[in-house]
Amino acid sequence: MSKTEQFKIFIRKNPHLIQYVNNGSITWQKFFEMWDLYGEDSEAWNNYKETKNSNLVYDLGLKNVVDSVKNINVDSIVKGLNGLQKLLAIAQDFFGKKEVKSQEDPYIPRPVHKRFED
């Protein structure tokens, strides 16, 4: 069995480590290096051990929701909505109702010999 497969098994045994990667405090590479250097039972893992308080917040999903809201790029959302609005306007022009002129047109043309002030 390769080291990567053994590391995957270690992560499956300790799924709480995933939250540290998701919130950006550490990378998978760093976890792998720690695991490779110190092993599974080292005291280096004490900082990342599961605590009841952090599990409660993690289980409620509140921390994940707050982190997700922090990572939202408002400018990209606005650009996306503007693009969607333009696309809908084009589609509406293309597939929208065709304006049919009624027989009683309210426009009455001016005689050619009259001017604006007349």
- CA 116/CA 49 separation, integer angstroms: 86
Count of domains for the chain: 1
Residue 86 within a domain: no
**Confidence band for 96, pLDDT divided at 50, 70 and 90:** confident
Residue 52 CA from chain centroid, whole number? 29
Whether 39 maps to a domain, the answer reads yes
Position 64 scores a pLDDT of: 74
Query: What does the pLDDT read at residue 56?
Result: 47
Quick check: is 46 in a domain? yes
Tell me the average pLDDT of the chain: 78
| Over residues 71-84, mean pLDDT | 86
Question: What range defines the domain where residue 15 resides?
Answer: 3-70
Q: What are phi and psi of 104, to 5 degrees?
A: -95, 85
Say how far apart CA 51 and CA 57 lie, in whole Å.
10
